[in-house]
Amino acid sequence: MPDTEAATRTASAQRPATPATDFIPVLIGGDMNCYSVARAIHEEYGIKSQVFGRFAAGDTKYSRIVNCTYEPNLHDVDVLLKTVNDFAGKHADTTCLVWGCTDGYAAMLMEIQDRLRENCVTLYIGTELRDKLASKASFYQMCEHYGIPYPKTFYTSGELAPEELTEAAIGFPYPIIVKPSMSDTYWEHPFEGMKKVYTAASPEEASRILGLIYGAGYPDQVLLQDMIPGDDSNMRVLTGYSDRKSKVKMMCFGHVGLEEHTATALGNPCAIITEANPELENPIKEWLEEIGFTGFSNFDIKYDMRDGSYKVFEINLRQGRSNYYVTGSGNNIARYVVEDRVYKRDLGECHHNKNVHFWHSVPREIVFHYVKDKAFVSRARRLSETGNESVTFDYAPDLKGNLLRWLYVKIHMHRYFDKFAHSERYK
C-alpha cells in the first residue's frame, strides 16, 4: 500500500483522554513492554496503571502514567497470586484487569487466573494449550499439521558428539541456529556466555553449545535449525488479538528493519514499518480460532529469499516487547482488551491493519545508519518527515514538566549509540 494511504494516530490518541473509574489496570512487569501497555491504556482511557514488579526498572521509573509497587519474590507463583488478590481485595468494588508484560508473568497468570478474586479479569488461554505452544518443538509439530511454514529443524534431548551432528545427520547445511525449545526453563539454568540464540558454524561448535546448555542443567529439548539467510530487514512480526470467544479481532503485520544484538536482548525488534500481509495473516487467523486461542499472539517470522516464503519461528503468548508498533499504527491494544474483557462488548469483524506506520525504540539516526535495506530506510525517512512515526517513550503527557522522566529517556536513547557502535554484528 502506498505510504500516502497510511493513517495517522487513532482518534483516541489525538483527543484528550477521559478518565475512567470503573476498572483498574494491574500490570505485572516493569519493562518497555509494560510501559507500552500503560501508555496505550492512558491514551485511550486517561488512567494510570498499577504496576507490580520485582525491582525498579528504568523503563517505568519516574513515570506519571504508572504507580509502581515492588515485591522481590514476585517470580514465585504463590507470591504473585497473593499480591494480586491482596490488591484486588482492597478494590473489591472495581474490576481489576490483570495483564502480564513478560513471558514468565503471562505464563504464571495462565496458571493462577482461576484462583484470582472475582473482581479480576485476565486475557489468557489455559495451561494445557499454553504448554503446547510455549514449547517450540510442540509448536512446530502444530505448524506441520496446519500447513504453516517453519524452518527445517533437528531436535535433541541431550548432548551429542560432533559425528552425530553432521549435515547429513541433521538434514541441512552449516552454519545453523541452536536454541532451546523452552525459553523460560532455559533462563532458569544460567551459565557464563549464555545467549538467547546461538550460531554454530560446524558440528564441533554445535556439540560444544549443547554441552554448555545441558551442562547447566537445562532439562528440555534443544533445536538445531536451518539458518535462513538475510539480515534483520528480512524479519517480520505479526500481532493478533483473540477475544474471549476465541475469535481473532485484530491482526497487525510489521516489516522489521533492525533488531537489538546484545546477548540478552538478541532478536528484539527496534524498528518496524507496518504493512498488510493477508496471505500470511489469514491462515494463521484460521489456525488460532481452530485451536481456541484467546488473548494476544505474537509471531516471529522471517522472509526466506530462497523460495519467497515466510517462515514462522515461534509464537509468544502475550503482546510483544515492541507492541507499541500496533498502537502507533492506529490499533490501540488497550481498547481491544478493555472493550472485550472489562465491558464484554462485541468487537465486530476482525480488523486487518492496512495503515503504514514507522515505529522505533532507538533513535531514528541509528535506524537510518544501521538498517541495510535501503528501501526500508527511504520509507522510514518519508514516514518520519510526514509525522507518521512513533517512539514508545516519547509520550508528551509523561514528559512535559517531568524533568526526571525526560532525563531518563534522553540518556536511555543516547546509550543506544554506544550499544550499536560496539556490537560485534556492526563492526
Q: 299 and 391: one domain?
A: yes
Q: 385 and 314: one domain?
A: yes
Q: What percent of the chain has pLDDT over 90?
A: 87
Q: What is the pLDDT of residue 266?
A: 64
Facing residues of 258 across strands?
271
Tally the domains of the chain: 3
CATH of residue 189's domain is 3.30.1490
In a domain, 170, yes or no: yes
Q: What percent of the chain has pLDDT over 70?
A: 93
CATH of residue 72's domain is 3.40.50.720
Q: Taking 50 as the threshold, does the pLDDT of residue 3 lie above it?
A: no
Q: Which residues of 232-244 are buried (b: 16+ CB within 10 A; e: fewer)?
A: bbbbbbbbbbbbe
The C-alpha cell that represents 363 in the structure block: 533513535
Residue 274 vs residues 46, 254, 255: alpha-carbon distances, Å: 26, 4, 6
Q: What is the pLDDT of residue 426?
A: 62
The C-alpha cell that represents 93 in the structure block: 468494588
Q: What is the pLDDT of residue 21?
A: 63
Q: 252 and 392: one domain?
A: yes
Cα 237 to Cα 270: distance, rounded to the nearest angstrom: 11
Element (H, E) at 33: helix 32-45
Per-residue pLDDT, averaged over 19-42, amounts to 92
Q: 326 and 376: one domain?
A: yes
Instruction: Tell me if 303 sits within 8 A of 280, measured CB to CB.
Output: no
Instruction: Tell me if 317 sits within 8 A of 236, measured CB to CB.
Output: no
What stretches of 101-247 adopt beta strand conformation (E)? 120-121, 153-156, 176-180, 198-200, 222-226, 235-242
Q: 272 and 400: one domain?
A: yes
| pLDDT one-digit tens code per residue, 224-258 | 999 999 999 999 999 999 999 999 999 999 999 99
| pLDDT one-digit tens code per residue, 298-323 | 999 999 999 999 999 999 999 999 99
| pLDDT one-digit tens code per residue, 150-170 | 999 999 999 999 999 999 999
Cα 130 to Cα 27: distance, rounded to the nearest angstrom: 20
Q: What is the phi-psi region of residue 171: left when phi exceeds 0, alpha when psi lies from -120 to 50, beta otherwise?
A: left
Q: How far is it between the farthest Cα atoms of the chain?
A: 65
Q: 386 and 325: one domain?
A: yes
Confidence of residue 423 (pLDDT cuts 50, 70, 90): confident
**∠375-381-382 over CA atoms, to 5°?**
95
Q: 293 and 319: one domain?
A: yes
Confidence of residue 263 (pLDDT cuts 50, 70, 90): low
The C-alpha cell that represents 261 in the structure block: 544484538
Q: What is the average pLDDT score of the chain?
A: 92
Per-residue pLDDT, averaged over 14-36, amounts to 79
Q: 395 and 296: one domain?
A: yes
Cβ atoms within 10 A of the Cβ of 264, count? 10
Confidence of residue 264 (pLDDT cuts 50, 70, 90): low
Confidence of residue 146 (pLDDT cuts 50, 70, 90): confident
In a domain, 418, yes or no: yes
| pLDDT one-digit tens code per residue, 184-226 | 899 999 999 999 889 999 999 999 999 999 999 999 999 999 9
* Residue 97: closest CA among 315, 336, 397: 336
Q: Taking 60 as the threshold, does the pLDDT of residue 124 lie above it?
A: yes
| pTM summary value | 0.89
Q: What is the pLDDT of residue 8?
A: 37
| pLDDT one-digit tens code per residue, 67-115 | 999 999 999 999 999 999 999 999 999 999 999 999 899 999 999 999 9
Facing residues of 354 across strands?
none
- The range of the structural domain enclosing residue 48 comes to 3-124
| CA-CA-CA-CA torsion sign (148, 290, 338, 336) | positive
The C-alpha cell that represents 184 in the structure block: 523460560
Instruction: Tell me if 281 sits within 8 A of 237, measured CB to CB.
Output: no
Cα 48 to Cα 97: distance, rounded to the nearest angstrom: 12
Amino acid at 354: K
